[in-house]
Amino acid sequence: MMQRLSCTVLGSGTSAGVPAIGCRCDVCTSTDPKDRRLRTAAAVQWIDDGGQDRVLLIDAGPDLRQQVLAAGIDRCDGILITHNHVDHMFGLDEVRRFNVTMQAPVHVWAEPTVQANLRRVYAHIFEPQDNINPSFVATIELHDLAPAEPFELHGLTITPIRLLHGALPILGFRFDAPGGAQPLPLAWCTDVSAIPEASMALLAGVDTLFLDMLRERPHRTHLNLEAATALAGTLGARQTWFVHMGHEVAHAATEAILPEGCSLAFDGLKLTNQKVAAAGENR
């Protein structure tokens, strides 16, 4: 039975981050800490049946180092990659520290097309024999992902879900566990502009949904405010949290106009499932 599961939003920002370099707009100069957004990523943490702490990261963006330091994460049992855009994979080099702390390879799950991009960008990791000097490079084991093909990791069931990011097919993820109370079932759907019909069925019954919401104005490859709130209503999760926001989204002002059941996520948001104790058990 899944115990003490949590999901931490490590970053809730769009590809440039907020504040954006060189921008003096109201959001980029805001003093509200919720208007500061690192690149979108998350950590799912739980204790498995053997009592071992487990940490699964969703994406490995350029802010990975400061994100895991801020969250106090010192191990990594796996990384799920949604797609190979820079803001979701350019922190992969940092996982070499997890090789040190765990004395083990880091397991990375990605679609074959994404793996090809990882091998290209990180040639020094995947073809270390070509490095001129032997040096401290990450040790990574790649594993295949395919949409609608669930797999289990230390008691957590992970279902990759096909999403469309403009014309680019990418993956979202659904997480389930036996006996898992809210925020399970939980789904993470970043960088999405449309969800194919077959994927809508895989998102049925989700308690907590993280969903892309770039800004108010429409965008070709991301949901805007109107589309994201409409989709949240269709999917009907108990709670939907928007992620991947740009600097046009002021946290407090936008939060005030969202419909019930929708909120803006923010960096450091942590949803925790203290497993419901059986009757008579101490809490």
Interface contacts to Zn ion, rule CB under 5 A? 15, 20, 23, 25, 28, 85, 87, 191, 247
Nearer to Zn ion by C-beta: 108 or 156? 108
In the complex, minimum distance from the CB of residue 18 to Zn ion, in angstroms, rounded to a whole number: 7
Alpha-carbon distance of 60 to 87, in angstroms, equals 8
Q: What is the CA radius of gyration of the chain?
A: 19
Burial class of residue 72 (count of CB atoms within 10 Å of its CB; 0-12, 13-18, 19+): exposed
In the complex, minimum distance from the CB of residue 41 to Zn ion, in angstroms, rounded to a whole number: 10
Nearer to Zn ion by C-beta: 77 or 191? 191
Nearer to Zn ion by C-beta: 20 or 104? 20
Written as six digits, the tokens of 91 are 């922190």
Phi–psi pair at 251, nearest 5 degrees? -55, -60
CB-based contact 34:266 (threshold 8 Å): yes
Alpha-carbon distance of 58 to 272, in angstroms, equals 17
In the complex, minimum distance from the CB of residue 31 to Zn ion, in angstroms, rounded to a whole number: 14
Nearer to Zn ion by C-beta: 192 or 206? 192
Stretch (H or E) spanning 262:
strand 262-264
CA–CA distances in Å: residue 111 to residues 116, 117, 146, 160, 216: 9, 10, 6, 10, 31
In the complex, minimum distance from the CB of residue 25 to Zn ion, in angstroms, rounded to a whole number: 3
In the complex, minimum distance from the CB of residue 11 to Zn ion, in angstroms, rounded to a whole number: 10
Nearer to Zn ion by C-beta: 20 or 137? 20
